[in-house]
Amino acid sequence: MSLALQADYYIGIMSGTSLDGIDAVLINFNATPALQQTLFVPYDSDLRKQLLALHQASDDELNRTAILANRLSQLFANTVKRLLSKCNLAPKNIIAIGCHGQTIRHCPEKCYTIQLVNAALLAELTTITIIADFRSRDIAAGGQGAPLVPAFHQAMFQQTNTNRVIVNIGGIANLTILAPDNNLIGFDCGPGNLLMDAWCLRHTNKNYDKDGAWAASGQVIPALLQKLVSFHFFPLAPPKSTGREMFSMQWLEGYLQGNEKPEDVQATLAQLTTKSIAQAIISYCPHAEEVYICGGGAHNQTLITQLSKTLTGKKVALTDQLNVDADWVEAFAFAWLAKQTILGIPVNLATVTGAQGNRILGAIYLN
């Protein structure tokens, strides 16, 4: 595939909480932003295992963290080279790469967040300007550092006459409320895929529950669901964000009796994701007319069906209907965020993250 060289090209690289791999996109920001090319590179089992291990305190953490950051940066660089090859473009044709990095700790209550990438090495390997470390400036200003995509959702998806909600179901689920009055709200609402994926891997040796079929084969355990939804995070008012530090397998195990059928627990976890998303929408955008889903959870038919049934009277569909494929919204967002960094435009939205003010995000590694 060969693309015109007179263009405003950025690359977005996203590796999310699900730890499944790297989403990379080429975006042309000339006139209307357009998705030009995509590439997904899965993590191998060893890399995923090592990344998961870094979510918990352990021996030799600093050394292992630095080595993994370099390993990831090599993988990011190879991904970029493959993406450019698909488009018949050279590094000189790309203005910048927005690289989210791989989150291994997210602790805004302790004033830090860690996304693994050696951005200096990535700049050397790609010979392209790198924008990374998007979250730290917001946290330094008293914010949650997440979610960062609501400004992008607003720029791409808002309509002046429609109450619309964008829901990203990745490892964690987050939503953006796009109201005609421009009163933008966005926050993490709870676990998306991460608990379901971890439970599925433990009991079926598969990385995820394809189409939600295993969950659909089980029965929701009402008492367990009630305990899970009573957890203190869910009723908290935004701004709020979360991650594996809070919603871990250890967290889930604390609520289990030990005699539950695995498929019933999976069904309950699917309902937990559904219920937490739906309750957040009902609480903060009761008049929503349209709900659009993106992220890996968009492929979980059980989740989508449950959300459609729960959100009675609201249109539930994928962002594909808004001309952005549900699989690539977040990577697209980080290309867009990189462009805003280059232009010097604040995009953290203090009303979303709780920061003391709007800030220009990202550290720039020039080439």
pLDDT at 31 over 90: no
> Is residue 2 in a domain?
no
Q: Is the pLDDT of residue 343 over 90?
A: yes
Same domain, 261 and 332: no
Q: Give the mean pLDDT of the chain.
A: 95
pTM score: 0.95
How many domains is the chain built from? Answer: 2
The pLDDT tens digits of the residues spanning 289-314 come to 999 999 999 999 999 999 999 999 99
The answer on pLDDT for 64 being more than 80 is yes
In a domain, 30, yes or no: yes
> In this structure, are 205 and 114 located in the same domain?
no
Distances in whole angstroms, Cα of residue 195 to Cα of each of 192, 200, 209, 250, 326 = 7, 8, 11, 10, 21
Mean pLDDT of the region 332-339? 98
pLDDT at 2 over 70: no
Confidence of residue 279 (pLDDT cuts 50, 70, 90): very high
Indicate the pLDDT class of residue 160, thresholds 50, 70 and 90: confident
Shared domain check, 341 and 270: no
Q: How much is the average pLDDT of 25-46? A: 95
Query: Do residues 336 and 281 both lie within one domain?
Result: no
Q: Give mean pLDDT, residues 85-106.
A: 96
Backbone angles phi, psi at 151, to 5 degrees: -65, -40
| Domain limits for position 225 | 150-326
Q: How far apart (Å, rounded) are the C-alpha atoms in residues 191 and 121? A: 33
Residue 171 pLDDT greater than 70, yes or no = yes
Residue at 339 is within a domain: yes
**Is residue 4 a part of any domain in this protein?**
no
* CATH code of residue 98: 3.30.420.40
Residue 241 forms part of a structural domain? yes
Residue 86 burial class via C-beta count within 10 angstroms: exposed 0-12, middle 13-18, buried 19 and up: middle
Distance of CA 67 to the CA centre of its chain: 24
Residue 147, pLDDT score: 95
pLDDT for 3: 66
Mean pLDDT of 21-36: 95
User: Same structural domain for residues 56 and 186?
Assistant: no
Position 6 confidence tier, pLDDT thresholds 50, 70, 90: low
Same domain as 111, residue 190: no
| Residue 211 DSSP one-character state | G
Residue 112 and residue 210 in one domain: no
Pairwise CA distance, residues 149 & 14, whole Å: 12
Residues 29 and 103 in one domain: yes
* Average confidence (pLDDT) over 201-225: 97
Same domain, 218 and 138: no
In this prediction, residue 5 has a pLDDT band, given cuts at 50, 70 and 90, of low
- Tell me, yes or no, whether 102 and 126 share the same domain: yes
Domain assignment present for 178? yes
